[in-house]
Structure 1
Amino acid sequence: MNISLQYSQITVNDLDESLAFYRDVLGLEVRNDVGSDGQRWVTLGSAAQPDLELVLSVPHAGRSQDDGDALQQLLVKGALPILVFRTDDLDATFEAVRASGAEVLQEPIVQPWGPRDCAFRDPSGNMVRFNQA
């Protein structure tokens, strides 16, 4: 049996604002931009991982009102799982993301467990970390 990750969900407040961050700042390519029943999902990917797509959606997309409300509360608190990207040039990545106006949570440092990394908040408040490859 061979298993691999195909999609990972990122919950955001504003699809267009988040799309500008993930596409224009991080350089991910839009794979799909789909609307259905008044909702919208955008998938993005990297040429370095052609079989993996990140799905951007708002809290209520495809969910009940109660579930969407609960997810929105977690998003506002910054309590959703973090995203960790790998980069071959952490300093250049840090400067590009900082120049976009993203909130810096941690400047590049070497972590006690090994990797050199940095951290930001995306436009919706999700923590996004970058590790040096």
Structure 2
Amino acid sequence: MSLNWITLRVRDLETSLNFYHGILGLPIERRFESRGKQIVMLDTGTHPKLELIQGNDPALKPECGVSVGFEVKSLDEAMEYLKSQGIPVARGPITPNPHLRFFYILDPDGFEVQLAEHS
């Protein structure tokens, strides 16, 4: 068994696409409509994919403790890039052990996005 995708219910699909596709660089795998909802699948390069569903009835609220995490080659470069895009660091950087550093930013709906560097 493998994890196929993670779904985030977002208020404004275009704003979320600008964040995940435009700023974080996740490629759009496909875009479609299902039962009146606009849906975009973003390719993460491996599994799981990230599914964005536009709607005003979120099943998960940002306060629920769910976060999405991505691996980066350089945490310092990621922080500088995001700063240049006007994306502030919400928490961190945190170094829980000598081989891991990470920080969190918030997506347009307030979900935490973790960027991590392993050495």
Q: Secondary structure at the match of 1:92?
A: helix
Separation in structure 1 between the aligned mates of residue 98 and residue 4 of structure 2, nearest angstrom = 28
Please name the residue that 1:31 is paired with.
29
- Per-residue deviation, residues 15-69 of structure 1 (Å, max 9, x unmatched): 100001101111110001111332111010133x2x4311011345xxxxxxx36
Separation in structure 2 between the aligned mates of residue 45 and residue 117 of structure 1, nearest angstrom = 22
Separation in structure 2 between the aligned mates of residue 81 and residue 90 of structure 1, nearest angstrom = 21
The alpha-carbon distance between structure 1 residues 11 and 103, as it changes in their structure 2 partners (threshold 3 A), is farther
Please name the residue that 2:103 is paired with.
118
RMSD: 2.2
Please name the residue that 1:94 is paired with.
79
- TM-score w.r.t. length of structure 2: 0.84
Please name the residue that 1:58 is paired with.
54
Shift of 1:113: 8.5
- Relative to its length, the structure with more helix (as a share) is 1
The alpha-carbon distance between structure 1 residues 80 and 109, as it changes in their structure 2 partners (threshold 3 A), is closer
Point out 4+ residue stretches in structure 1 off by more than 3 angstroms: none
Q: Does 1:79 align with 2:69?
A: no
Q: Structure 1: which 5+ residue stretches go unaligned?
A: 61-67
- TM-score w.r.t. length of structure 1: 0.76
What residue identity is the alignment partner of 2:8?
A: I
Please name the residue that 2:15 is paired with.
17
What residue identity is the alignment partner of 1:25?
A: I
What residue identity is the alignment partner of 2:110?
A: G
Whether contact under 8 Å (1:86, 1:130) holds in the other structure is yes
Separation in structure 2 between the aligned mates of residue 105 and residue 113 of structure 1, nearest angstrom = 22
Q: How many pairs were matched up?
A: 118
